[in-house]
Amino acid sequence: MEIATKIVNDGQKTAELLSGERQSLWSALRCSISQRFDYWLQMSYPSVVEPVARWLDEQLWNILETATGFSIPSGATNSSWNCVLPIPVAGRSNRSFQQWVVRQPVRLGGFGLRSLVDTAGPAFIGALEQSVPFFCGENGICPQLANHLGGEECFGEEATGDERWRVMLESGSREGEELRRVWSMMREEEEQAAAWLGEELQENLSVRVKSVGGSSCDGSTRGKVS
């Protein structure tokens, strides 16, 4: 929260400084201010960082309104021009059309201002696959953790990636529990969205939790599931 508060304070100072240059303020918000919490999303357990990320999302929304010069509803309001899309997906049913547009990538016609809360789970998964495979094994930096994170059978050259998180999930480690929780939430959302749209599950989200990311070790699973 101390880090998030500093980001907000700096953002407010930037908004005051660029109050007459809204295009510049928008660029600063999207390309700099909104990116500063990303490191903590990767390095913190999602259950710990999500409440802070939710608060920070709200504060950055205020800066967005300063950059545009008008109030932007993120949920249901009494305004006749506001539109809340009745989407039958957990956590998505009360979002305004404006919030969907703001959160969508620019290449899809949105503003590209992502939600930090939505980013927390994928960011954690990306950090896991960039770090855990290199702890154990013949050249691992901490082979003693093999019983808790997995060894050659999970991350070795002969491993297929089908069960690479099995040991970590079965050991009761905090990392395993956080992965299980995050994947369960993301998988539930994907199943509900796919059922509503009448489509198949997205390939990268259709796997079991012990197979998340396959054999990837470069963090690319973050982008794929996002």
Q: What are the extents of the domains in the chain?
A: 1-70, 77-114, 123-225
- pLDDT value for 43: 93
- pLDDT value for 102: 94
Asked whether residue 128 carries a pLDDT value surpassing 90, the answer given is: yes
Single-letter amino acid, residue 154: C
Asked whether residue 167 carries a pLDDT value surpassing 80, the answer given is: yes
Task: For residue 57, give the nearest of 41, 80, 76, 43 by alpha carbon.
Answer: 41
Q: How many CA atoms lie within 13 A of 217 on its CB side?
A: 14
Asked whether residue 47 carries a pLDDT value surpassing 80, the answer given is: yes
Choice between 8 and 134, residue whose per-residue pLDDT is larger? 8
C-alpha torsion angle, residues 164, 165, 166, 170 (rounded to 10): 160
Determine whether 16 is exposed, middle or buried from the number of CB atoms within 10 Å of its CB (0-12, 13-18, 19+): exposed
Asked whether residue 160 carries a pLDDT value surpassing 70, the answer given is: yes
- pLDDT value for 17: 94
Choice between 47 and 79, residue whose per-residue pLDDT is larger? 47
Question: What residues pair up with 96 in beta bridges, in sequence order?
Answer: 84
Question: What residues pair up with 84 in beta bridges, in sequence order?
Answer: 96
Asked whether residue 99 carries a pLDDT value surpassing 70, the answer given is: yes
Contact 179, 163 (CB under 8 A): no
pLDDT tier for residue 137 given thresholds of 50, 70 and 90: low
Task: For residue 124, give the nearest of 170, 172, 177 by alpha carbon.
Answer: 177
pLDDT tens track for 191-211: 999 999 999 998 889 999 999
Enter the DSSP assignment of 86: -
pLDDT tens track for 108-117: 999 999 999 9
Most confident of 71-75, 99-103, 149-153: 99-103
- pLDDT value for 5: 97
- pLDDT value for 79: 64
Asked whether residue 75 carries a pLDDT value surpassing 80, the answer given is: no
- Cα separation, 119 vs 216, in Å, equals 19
Find tokens 């999500």 and name the residue.
50
- pLDDT value for 49: 97
Q: How many residues does the chain have?
A: 226
Find tokens 């060894």 and name the residue.
151
How much is the average pLDDT of 155-183? 91
Assessment of whether the complete model's pTM goes beyond 0.75: yes
